[in-house]
């Protein structure tokens, strides 16, 4: 890993601090610009305040093939409100003015490719982004992105799936930075369908070969899930469950507080798991 300069990547710093405190990371995915730019910025701030350790800002895309109905719907709403990749970068930059929480830009590849991979890398670097996760860009196709990010303090977050075979997990883990995103089950993003016993086996196998923290995502809905899964890895990622709560709000003004409440609920579950493990 690149350690030039005095600056430590915020994701690395976050995991170092969490490990020192014997806590797990709560990673919160939020669709950028949902339901509109200003509300989205307020949601992100409050989610940080409520205890999210890392933010994933999801760039909405017209054809989100890796996402289930909830994130499809939030992406559609965000696009209708005028959201785009360039505005998502603006959103990250605006957020960076007031918080130090690590930010991961989550996107499909096409918006990034169309924008220009180099230009994307430069602009997110200036915005204060700490990691990128391109969900449909396997390492085999990521040469341009790797090159564009070289020398920047930005990690490429990689994913491993239940279908990923051991030799490939080693390859993915070796090339990744920040943390490895472990997909809990086959399927797209959404809530439910978790099999903690299977995830435990998979997570243990992955942790053995991965030099980075491992976070589990997809299907985590509530504090019970958080309690069950957090001990299996270094953190958990919550997206659809959060976006579903937001979609239930009566008006935009109510959304940020709902998001914060959901984060606190999950945090309680995770911290309870921590205490069980110790007692």
Q: Which of 2, 36, 38, 56 is catalytic?
A: 56
Q: Which of residues 51 and 139 has its CB atom nearest to other proteins in the complex?
A: 139
Binding-site string for other proteins from residue 64 to residue 103, where x marks contact by CB under 8 A and - marks none: xxxxxx--x---x--x----xxx-----------------
Of 13 and 171, nearer to other proteins (C-beta) is 171
Relative to beta strand 54-58, strand 235-238 is unpaired
Site for other proteins in 47-66 (CB under 8 A): 61-66
Q: How far is the CB of 86 from other proteins (least distance, A)?
A: 6
Q: Residues in the chain, how many?
A: 279
3-state secondary structure 223-279: HHHHHHHHHHCCEEEECHHHHHHHHCCCCHHHHHHHHHHHHHHHHHHHHHHHHHHHC
Active site (annotated) includes residue 141:
no
Q: Cβ 177 to other proteins, closest distance in Å?
A: 16
155 vs 262, beta carbon nearer other proteins: 155
> Is 100 considered catalytic here?
no
Total residues binding other proteins (CB under 8 A): 43
Closest CA to 100 of 8, 220, 227: 8
Residues 6+ apart with CB under 8 A from 16: 8
Residue corresponding to tokens 């990371």: 25
From 12, 42, 63, 67, active-site residue: 67
Q: Which residues contact 197 (CB under 8 A, 6 or more apart)?
A: none
Residue with tokens 């890993």: 1
Residue 13 found at the interface with other proteins (CB under 8 A): no
Q: Does 210 bind other proteins (CB under 8 A)?
A: no
Nearest CA among 229, 227, 226, 240 for reference residue 191? 240
Looking at residues 179 to 198 of the shown chain, list those that interact with other proteins (rule: CB under 8 A).
183, 186-188
Active site residue ranges: 56, 67
Residues that bind other proteins (CB under 8 A): 61-69, 72, 76, 79, 84-86, 108-115, 135-138, 140-141, 158-165, 168, 172, 183, 186-188
């Amino acid at each position: 890993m690149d350690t030039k300069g005095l600056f430590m990547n915020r994701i690395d710093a976050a995991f170092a601090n969490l490990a020192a405190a014997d806590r797990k990371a709560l990673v919160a995915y939020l669709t950028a610009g949902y339901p509109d730019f200003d509300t989205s910025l307020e949601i992100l701030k409050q989610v940080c305040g409520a205890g999210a350790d890392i933010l994933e800002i999801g760039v909405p895309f017209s054809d989100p093939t890796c996402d289930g109905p909830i994130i499809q719907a939030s992406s559609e709403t965000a696009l209708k409100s005028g959201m785009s990749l360039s505005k998502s970068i603006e959103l990250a930059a605006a957020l960076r003015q007031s918080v130090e929480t690590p930010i991961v830009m989550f996107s499909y590849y096409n918006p990034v490719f169309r924008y220009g991979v180099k230009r994307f890398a430069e602009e997110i670097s200036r915005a204060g982004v700490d990691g990128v996760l391109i969900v449909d860009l396997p390492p085999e196709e990521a040469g341009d992105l790797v090159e564009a990010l070289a020398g920047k303090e930005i990690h490429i977050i990689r994913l491993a799936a239940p279908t990923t075979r051991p030799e490939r997990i080693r390859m993915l883990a070796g090339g990744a930075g920040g943390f490895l995103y472990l997909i809990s089950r086959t399927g797209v993003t959404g809530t439910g369908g978790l099999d903690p016993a299977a995830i435990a086996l998979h997570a243990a196998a992955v942790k053995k070969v991965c030099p980075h923290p491992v976070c589990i995502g997809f299907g985590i809905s509530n504090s019970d899930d958080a309690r069950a899964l957090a001990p299996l890895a270094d953190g958990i990622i919550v997206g659809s469950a959060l976006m579903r709560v937001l979609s239930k709000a009566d008006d935009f003004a109510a959304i940020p507080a709902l998001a914060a409440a959901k984060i606190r609920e999950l945090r309680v579950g995770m911290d309870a798991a921590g205490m069980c493990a110790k007692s």
